[in-house]
């Protein structure tokens, strides 16, 4: 499989994962002006994140593996010059942003939300922040994929 196609496949996989996450995250939108999200909505989101961060193991490791593979492929693409320089200039920072947000912010907050141990106010904040970060991750991965496609 050519390098650009492998990168596109990894980006597509991550977009699919984000899509599934966002199907639950989007529930926060109708309560964006409310101080707190209702308990039944938080329960739905929390149950999903409990599954994907805890009980779905080892499948969660596959997402991490694809993230690492994507970074390695992008670095290899930049080193070998298999795409125009501008493609790497867009793709690498986009990947680092999306993966960095996922690792540093999203995963820990999703795991915490899945425990349902916090107050309603804290759980509302967690759910909203996960949603915002997922939107940023999605935009970054789409930008990466668009650069890869445009650069071929």
Please provide the DSSP assignment of 8-53 as one string: HHHHHHHHHHHHHHHHHHGGGGGGTTSSS--HHHHHHHHHHHHIII
Closest CA to 134 of 58, 56, 45: 45
pLDDT in tens, 88-139: 999 999 999 999 999 999 999 999 999 999 999 999 999 999 999 999 999 9
Domain residues for 113?
3-150
Distance CA 40, CA 33 (A): 17
Distance CA 91, CA 95 (A): 6
pTM of the model: 0.94
Look at the chain and report how many structural domains it folds into: 1
| Whole-number percent of the chain with pLDDT over 70 | 99
């Amino acid at each position: 499989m050519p390098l650009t196609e492998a990168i596109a496949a990894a980006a597509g996989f991550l977009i699919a994962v984000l899509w599934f996450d966002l199907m639950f995250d989007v529930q926060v939108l109708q309560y964006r002006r409310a101080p707190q999200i209702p308990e039944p909505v938080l329960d739905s989101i929390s149950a999903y994140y409990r599954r994907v961060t805890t009980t779905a193991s080892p499948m969660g490791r596959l997402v991490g593996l694809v993230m690492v593979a994507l970074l390695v492929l992008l670095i290899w693409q930049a080193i070998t010059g298999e795409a125009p320089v501008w493609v790497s200039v867009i793709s690498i920072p986009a990947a680092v942003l999306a993966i960095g947000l996922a690792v540093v912010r999203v995963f820990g907050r999703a795991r915490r939300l899945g425990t349902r141990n916090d107050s309603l106010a804290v759980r509302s904040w967690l759910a909203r922040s996960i949603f915002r970060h997922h939107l940023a991750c999605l935009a970054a991965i789409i930008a990466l994929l668009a650069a890869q496609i445009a650069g071929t």
